[in-house]
Amino acid sequence: MPHLPSGPARVHARGWGWRHAGRKAFAVSGVDLDIAPGERVLLLGASGAGKSTLLHALAGVLGAAEEGEEQGELTVDGVPAPAARGRAGLVLQDPDGQIAMARVGDEVAFGCENLAVPRDEIWPRVHRALDDVGLDVPIDRSTAALSGGQKQRLALACILAMAPGLVLLDEPTANLDPEGVEEVREAVRRSVDRTGATLVVVEHRVSVWAELVDRVVVLSGEGGLLADGSPERVLGDADVRRRLAAAGVWVPGWHPLTGELTPSALRDTSSQDDDPQAELLSAQGLAVGRSPKTPPVVGGIDLVLRAGRAASVTGPNGAGKSTLALTLAGLLPAVGGRLEALPALARGAGTSPHRWRSSELVSRIGTVFQEPEHQFLTPRVLDELEFGPRRVARRPEKEVRALVDGLLERLRLERLAEANPFTLSGGEKRRLSVATMLATDPSLLVLDEPTFGQDALTWAELVRLLAELLEQGTSLLAVTHDEDFTNALSDTVYRVDGGRAARVEAVA
Amino acid sequence: MSVDILTPELANSVLTRANPVAKLAAALCITITLLLSVDWVSASVALACELFMLPLLGVRAGTFLRRTWPLAAAAAVAAYSTALLGAKIGPVWLQLGPAVFTEHSVLTGVAIGLRGLAVALPGVFLLFSTDPTDLADGLAQKLRLPARFVLGALAGMRLVGLLVDEWRTLGLARRARGVGSGHSPIARFKAFLGQAFALLVQAIRRATRLAIAMEARGFGGIVDGRPAPRTWARESSYSRLDAWVIVTGAGVAALSVGAAVVLGTWNVVWG
């Protein structure tokens, strides 16, 4: 190795705070923090406590004076973070959002080039970094052809090649399936073990990182720190646990529905009645694909969705789970086999959901997409909720008002009725996207990864709401990797893998 | 799967191995020369030379036709409309009701059609034989274009691929909300505008995030008020092949002008 890492970095903060331009309140304030070289820190805090802001500040990308106001001091190795160019490397949450180059090798080399590393040194560094993260693909592989877990390991390799003294990870596993989470965590472990770099991770799924870090720091929403110490001490303290849980952090051993008690299924899923009246949608030998011209992604699917019942669809990324869900939801045409809306669902609208008019579709099947922003249509929360019942289903005005007021209250959105949907927090956006679908009262609700990246409070709220809907006779189909979600709600589980979909055992 | 415009599968041909900057220079030579005059001789000579060199691309005829037929169609349309609407000089060759085709208008139409093809083909050669990353390397290292601009554009092209996927998802997500299946053209157009705006919002968000990620990796740094020094992992270099590419481009341009001047058809557009 011609160029060795220049050693782990030290972080020092005194009375540090940051206010984004255009905001009244400080995102972070009064932070006193010293991180010794080589320490591994898990940074926790409620949504909006400023964890990402602190991380971006350490990476030196918060921006200049016109982008906000800074208080106190924050240094990396004794110099202000923006001046410590190349000392810190940052990995962000969205696997697609941080790749700049077309090929794996060029992507890893990019940071070295920017730091003016001589050409002869770049390629050994690239191979070393790819090796560290265990990404065993040809260096001319297209970056677009990687899985989510591979992309995040690539992002990690990119910063490792720059030999940073400080590795900063901003929820690097929030969008990944369980295998991807495991891959990325092990890659982080291997690389910080080798380089000895200082590590700061932000993540609200604590259990993923708890055994890899040696210190847990909890940011308080009101400024300063709420707790700071070893994982055992911080996560073992009953008071801190309670406060973390109340802030929406996924505390190990604390279930969002039952707290310290062992979780039980939220509903009785044991009775398997076969009441034909309750059958809504049936698939026989169904084949699904993104386009009728390409070969089907999944074939030979047999399933029945029933009123008041929940089904989960699981399986590895890219297996075709979303394609299946979108086909069942009437958004993609079936590419083979039979998909039939039964009388209880069709209510006179024809048997093929894909052929329904929009006004027929929204009052029968609602689909909640993974990214809430994709479904926002208007600049105001209230308009967003009124859109379906008023403009698509054309309900009487009085009915629209009653429906929307009910939803605002039930999903705790009253305070936000006038807000722009794009400015809401992640949890609020999720609640709103579900609410917009409920506004037209569909009999079947299809959800694509509804709990990805959500904090424990939003999770519990969502699960309780969906349980109520099931109680009222709505049918649910959720594409999800989230076992807690499936355990709490689902009657049946289908696993999609290798082009087939098979029913696995009903969840106890 | 996103549309992969940045990592095309290139045939292993002579032209693929040439430096993109040399190919660009050769293509510009031919294109600019042909834009100077509208006559059928220079266009036909250039087109003949280009077609003669097609095998150098190493692309199968079927693939080539499948990917370039819109160009041929556009040239045919241009030729037809020129013949139909051009000045009616010389003997009438064909008259169908109000549509009159004379010798002059038909020959001008043919010249326009051939010229369109001859002008477009060098671009096609470049496109079929060049990896965008190599082109960026060449532009920045050989032509000294600012790295910030060249690499920014390259990263932007990656976003285009992602946005194609995003457009599809947006369409489905909005259909689920009840948008976009109206039957009147106005309703469809409004739905299209709405979706385009939503895509714009997503594009800006993605671009902002990508800019932060690139900045965090030291891109666009300023040292002492100047762009920070930067190295290149892959060297963009010239070889003897590149000299041949440029000589060939200049040769094709010279030959077509020469032929037109000798035959007296050279006709500079602003002359």
**B211 and B167 housed in the same domain:** yes
By mean pLDDT, which of A474-478, B51-55, B202-206, B217-221 is the weakest?
B217-221
| Cα–Cα distance measured from residue A440 to residue A362, given in angstroms and rounded to the nearest whole number | 6
Q: Residue A94: list chain B partners with CB under 8 A.
A: 209
Judge whether B13 and B64 are in contact, CB under 8 Å. Answer: no
Short-list A180, A184, A178, A247, CA closest to A218:
A247
**Could you give the CA distance from residue A205 to residue A456 in angstroms, rounded to a whole number?**
9
Q: What pLDDT is recorded for position A5?
A: 41
Domain A37-62+85-246 CATH (choose: 3.10.129.10, 3.40.50.300, 3.90.1300.10, 3.40.630.10):
3.40.50.300
Residue B56 is encoded by which pair of tokens? 């150098």
- The verdict on a CB contact (< 8 Å) between A377 and B177 is yes
Asked whether A497 and A316 are in contact (CB, 8 A), the reply is: yes
The token pair at B120 is: 């477009």
Higher pLDDT, A144 or A287: A287
Which letter does DSSP use for residue B211 in this model? H
Question: Do B154 and B219 have their domain in common?
Answer: yes
Quick one: B120 and B36 in the same domain? yes
Whether residues B130 and B150 fall in one domain:
no
Position A273 confidence tier, pLDDT thresholds 50, 70, 90:
low
Task: Give the rounded percent of residues in chain A with a pLDDT score beyond 70.
Answer: 96
Which chain A residues are closer than 8 Å to B206 by Cβ?
96-97
Residue with tokens 């794996």: A104
Q: State the alpha helices, DSSP H only, in chain B.
A: 14-17, 20-36, 40-53, 61-85, 103-129, 132-141, 147-176, 185-216, 240-262
User: For testing the chain B interface, which of A130, A288, A297, A377 should be mutated: the one with the most B CBs within 10 Å?
Assistant: A377
Asked if pLDDT for residue A269 goes beyond 70, the answer is no
DSSP-derived secondary structure letter, B160: H
Specify the 3-state DSSP secondary structure of A214: coil
Q: Is A116 on the interface with B (CB under 8 A)?
A: yes
Whether residue A156 has pLDDT greater than 90: yes
d(CA A164, CA A167): 7
Domains contained in chain B, number: 2
Domain of residue B246 covers: 14-135+239-262
Site from A56, A113, A156, A449 to mutate, B interface, most B CB atoms within 10 angstroms: A113
The pLDDT of residue A225 is above 50: yes
Which contacts of B57-66 are long-range, i.e. CB under 8 A and separated by 24 or more positions? B57/B11, B57/B13, B57/B15, B57/B125, B57/B128, B57/B129, B58/B11, B58/B12, B58/B13, B58/B14, B58/B15, B58/B16, B59/B11, B59/B13, B59/B128, B64/B128
Q: What b-and-e string marks burial along B62-85, b requiring 16 or more CB atoms within 10 Å of the CB?
A: eeeeeebeebeeebeebbeebbee
Above 60 in pLDDT, residue A61? yes
Looking at the predicted structure, is the pLDDT value of residue A235 above 50? yes
Please report, for residues A87, A112, A325, the alpha-carbon distance to residue A120 in angstroms, rounded to integers and kept in the order given: 21, 11, 50
pLDDT in tens, B221-245: 777 778 888 899 999 999 999 999 9
Q: Look at the block and give the residue holding tokens 């982008």.
A: A67
Give the pLDDT score at A507: 47
Q: Is the CB of residue A297 less than 8 Å from the CB of residue A323?
A: yes
Q: What is the mean pLDDT of chain B?
A: 88
H or E element, residue A433: helix A426-438
Residue B160 placed within a domain? yes
**Are B18 and B97 in the same domain?**
yes
Instruction: Identify from B162, B202, B231 which residue to disrupt to test chain A contact, counting A C-beta atoms within 10 A and taking the largest count.
Output: B231
**Per-residue pLDDT, A317:** 78
For chain A, the distance separating the N- and C-terminal CA atoms, rounded to the nearest angstrom, is 54
**Could you tell me which residue, A180 or A276, shows the higher pLDDT?**
A180
Domain assignment present for B184: yes
Tell whether B108 and B19 lie within a shared domain.
yes
Please name every residue paired with A17 in a beta bridge, in sequence order, or none if there are none: A71
pLDDT in tens, A5-42: 478 999 999 999 999 887 888 889 999 999 999 999 99
Asked if CATH classification 3.40.50.300 holds for the domain at A276-504, the reply, yes or no, is yes
Average pLDDT on A485-496 reads: 92
Chain A residues touching B214 at Cβ < 8 A: 100, 110
Q: Are residues B36 and B166 in the same domain?
A: no
Average pLDDT over residues A338-353: 93
Across the interface, whether the CB atoms of A158 and B172 are under 8 A apart is answered no
| CB neighbourhood size of A272 (10 A) | 10
Q: What is the ipTM of this complex?
A: 0.86
| Three-state DSSP class for residue B103 | helix
- At residue A90, the 3 state secondary structure works out as strand
User: In this predicted model, what pLDDT tens digit does every residue of A425-445 receive, in sequence order?
Assistant: 888 899 999 999 999 999 999
Q: Report pLDDT for A2.
A: 34
